[in-house]
Structure 1
Amino acid sequence: MIVGEKLFDGQAHVVSHADASPFVSGGLRSCFEYRHFGVKDATQGKYEAFVQRAVPGSKRDDGWHYHELEFHLLYILSGWITFEYEDVGFTTLRMGSCVLQPPGLRHRAIKHSDDFSMFEVCSPAQIGTVPVEYSQGGD
C-alpha cells in the first residue's frame, strides 16, 4: 500500500495493489477474510472501503442487527449472499448486485456461497453494529 504524505482537503492519496495488500482474518465477521485498501487512514476515519470474501465452509455467526453508519454500499463481486431485511423480506444478492443499506435498516445475513466476495464502502470508517431482537415474528 502506498499512502501519500500530503493531505488534500483532509485526505491522502493512497494506492493499494493486490500483491501488497493480502486478505486477512480478524474482521467484523469470522466467516470472512478482508482486504483493506488504506482508505480509512487516508481519510482520517471518514470512510472505509474493502473487499471481503467467504472462508469456504464457514457459516454466518450474526443475528438481527443494524449498523450505525451514514453510508453503507455493498457490491457483489462473485457468488451470492441472502439477507433478510425488516419490512422488506428475503433478498439474494448475486454477482453484479448492488445494495445501499440505509442507516438503521435492521437485517441479518442468512447464508452465502463459498465463492462469495463483496466490495463494501461505508462512512464513517468504524462500522458500529447493534444487535436487535427480531421484530417480525420470525425465528
Structure 2
Amino acid sequence: MSTLTRHSKPTRQARTPALGAAAKKRAAAFTVSHAADARFVKRGLRSYFEYRDLGIARASAGKVVAHVIRARPEKAPHGAWHRHDCKLQFVYVLKGWVRFEYEGVGVVTMRKGSCFQQPPNIRHREIAHSKDLELLEIVAPADFETLDA
C-alpha cells in the first residue's frame, strides 16, 4: 500500500446521509431490492451519476451502504482528486467502463465484470467513463466521508 501525500489541506466534501439513532441501535434486518422496482435519484456524491439505494444501510444499521451507480449521459466527470474516509470500498462494474487514476498506482481502466477494492483514504480521481456505465458499490461504514485531496 502506498503512502498518501497531501498536496493541500483536505476539506470535507460530502458525507452520506446519516441514519437515525433508532436505525443504528437495531440489529441487522432482512431487505430485498428488485430491479423492477428500481428508482434512481440524481442526488448523491457526484452530479454526473444517478444512485439507486439497495436498502443495505438501513438493514445493516449503518454498518454498510450498497448502491448501484449509473452514468448520466448528459454529464461528464469532473476528475477532482479526492479520498474516502472509510474502512472498505468495493466496486463491481456491471456495464460499460470507467477509468481512474490512483496515487502510487497510476491509471486503471475497469470494464464490465471488473471489480476493485480501494484501500481506505487512497487519493484518486475519475478520468472518464462510458455513457452506459453502471457500478455496484459497497462501502463501510454507510456514513463515510469524501474529502478533497
Q: Does the pair score TM above 0.5?
A: yes
Aligned length: 124
2: CA distance, partners of 1:83 / 1:20: 31
Show the counterpart of 2:84: 67
Residue-by-residue CA offset, 1:5-37 (whole Å, 9 max, x unaligned): xxxx82000011123231111011110111111
Greater RCO, CA 8 A, separation 6+:
2
Show the counterpart of 2:13: none
1: CA distance, partners of 2:74 / 2:129: 10
User: Is there any run of 5+ residues in structure 1 with no aligned partner, and where?
Assistant: 1-8, 133-139
| Percent of residue pairs bearing the same amino acid type | 45
Q: Shift of residue 41 of structure 1?
A: 0.6
Show the counterpart of 2:132: 115
Secondary structure of the 1:19 match is helix
1: CA distance, partners of 2:112 / 2:44: 22
Higher fraction of strand: 1
Q: Which runs of 4+ in 1 moved over 4 A?
A: none
Residue-by-residue CA offset, 1:16-64 (whole Å, 9 max, x unaligned): 1123231111011110111111101111111011100000131113511
2: CA distance, partners of 1:63 / 1:82: 13
Show the counterpart of 2:9: none
User: Is there any run of 5+ residues in structure 2 with no aligned partner, and where?
Assistant: 1-25
TM-score, L = length of structure 2: 0.80
Instruction: Specify which of 17, 30, 35 is matched with residue 13 of structure 1.
Output: 30
Q: Give me the CA root mean square deviation.
A: 1.2
Letter in 1 for 2:124: H
